[in-house]
């Protein structure tokens, strides 16, 4: 065994040991990503993964949780996301029921101040992903596509990223017994503030080389032969070299190979472009070119 348990989370002996463990759960990390993941675990630092859509950033967090044998907690970011969806909220219906029950039973023996304080007890708090990660650690917290959220939302993350803690005004500061492993991803649709990046280790996740993508495709789709996997990987690389609106990611390329295998085809062609490309203009551009000739 190339890792030991420290604080409930595996402590891998080396980046290569982490890469091997990730490969055992179906994720092939290159040396740079394995190094970033290793340092994130060893130094208890969040990791900020940036790259084009579809290169495997989200899948890395899921594989890391599986490799470590811990829970994955995911926060999907979107425009307008706030603390009520990301951190916590109060269970208002239960608070009202409690208030009525106490009033009916107490007959005035409970002061208004006591009753109000009782309403903000922990049992009425609804934990959202950020608070869940603090309370359930060890775990992997995935903050997915932070660039989709508003700039102001990043401020909610700073305390968690720096101190593995969150603050609830009515209850105070809640600190994780074991820091969660935090993976923040961005497709770079906007620049993320330096204050957030400074708290994280950074890694740019690039599209895999055709050779590595062929190996990855065969690992994910064992029924795809080596020759077809290599041809699809090469064709996908040529597509990415074009000026496409949405270049294909790893997942689309895997689906393309599976579709060609299901059809009994040995060569990628324009008839199956709808599997790998999702924009009409991109399909037309490829058909007008000779990249699949």
pLDDT value, residue 108:
55
pLDDT value, residue 113:
58
Distances (CA, A) of 192 to 145, 195, 200, 221, 252: 11, 9, 12, 35, 27
Q: Which helix (H) or strand (E) holds 185?
A: strand 181-186
User: What is the Cα–Cα distance from 97 to 84, expressed in whole angstroms?
Assistant: 21
Which of 3.40.50.150, 3.40.50.10800, 1.10.150.20, 3.40.50.300 would CATH assign to domain 3-77+133-204? 3.40.50.300
pLDDT value, residue 251:
83
Q: Are 26 and 216 in contact (CB under 8 A)?
A: no
Task: Break the chain into its structural domains and give their ranges.
Answer: 3-77+133-204, 88-124, 210-288
Tens digits of pLDDT across the chain (293 residues): 444 555 556 678 899 999 999 988 888 898 999 999 999 998 889 999 999 888 889 999 999 999 988 999 999 999 999 887 898 887 666 656 666 666 655 555 555 556 665 666 667 788 899 999 999 888 999 999 999 998 888 888 898 899 999 888 888 899 998 889 999 999 999 999 999 999 999 999 988 777 777 766 666 666 677 788 888 888 998 999 898 998 888 888 888 888 888 888 888 888 999 999 999 999 999 999 888 87
Q: Which residues pair with 202 in a beta bridge?
A: 48
């Amino acid at each position: 065994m190339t890792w030991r348990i420290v604080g409930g989370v595996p402590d891998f002996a080396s980046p290569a040991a982490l890469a091997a463990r990730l490969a055992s759960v179906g994720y092939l990390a290159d040396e740079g990503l394995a190094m970033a993941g290793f340092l994130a675990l060893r130094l208890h630092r969040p990791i900020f993964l940036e790259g084009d859509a579809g290169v495997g950033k989200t899948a890395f967090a899921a594989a890391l949780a599986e490799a470590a044998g811990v829970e994955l907690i995911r926060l999907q970011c979107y425009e307008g996301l706030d603390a009520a969806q990301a951190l916590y909220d109060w269970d208002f219906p239960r608070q009202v029921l409690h208030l009525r029950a106490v009033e009916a039973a107490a007959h005035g023996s409970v002061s208004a101040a006591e009753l109000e304080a009782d309403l903000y007890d922990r049992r009425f708090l609804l934990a959202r992903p950020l608070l869940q990660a603090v309370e359930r650690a060890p775990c992997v917290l995935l903050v997915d596509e932070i660039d989709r959220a508003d700039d102001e939302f990043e401020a909610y993350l700073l305390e968690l990223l720096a101190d593995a803690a969150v603050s609830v005004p009515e209850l105070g500061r809640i600190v994780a017994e074991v820091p969660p492993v935090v993976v923040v991803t961005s497709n770079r649709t906007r620049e993320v503030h330096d204050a957030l990046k400074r708290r994280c280790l950074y890694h740019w996740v690039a599209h895999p080389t055709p050779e590595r993508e062929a190996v990855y495709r065969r690992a994910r789709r064992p029924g795809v032969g080596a020759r077809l996997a290599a041809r699809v990987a090469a064709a996908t690389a040529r597509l990415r070299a074009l000026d496409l609106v949405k270049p294909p990611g790893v997942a689309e390329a895997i689906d393309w190979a599976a579709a060609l295998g299901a059809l009994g085809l040995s060569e990628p062609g324009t008839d199956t472009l709808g599997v790998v490309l999702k924009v009409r203009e991109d399909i037309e551009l490829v058909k007008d070119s000779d990249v699949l000739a």
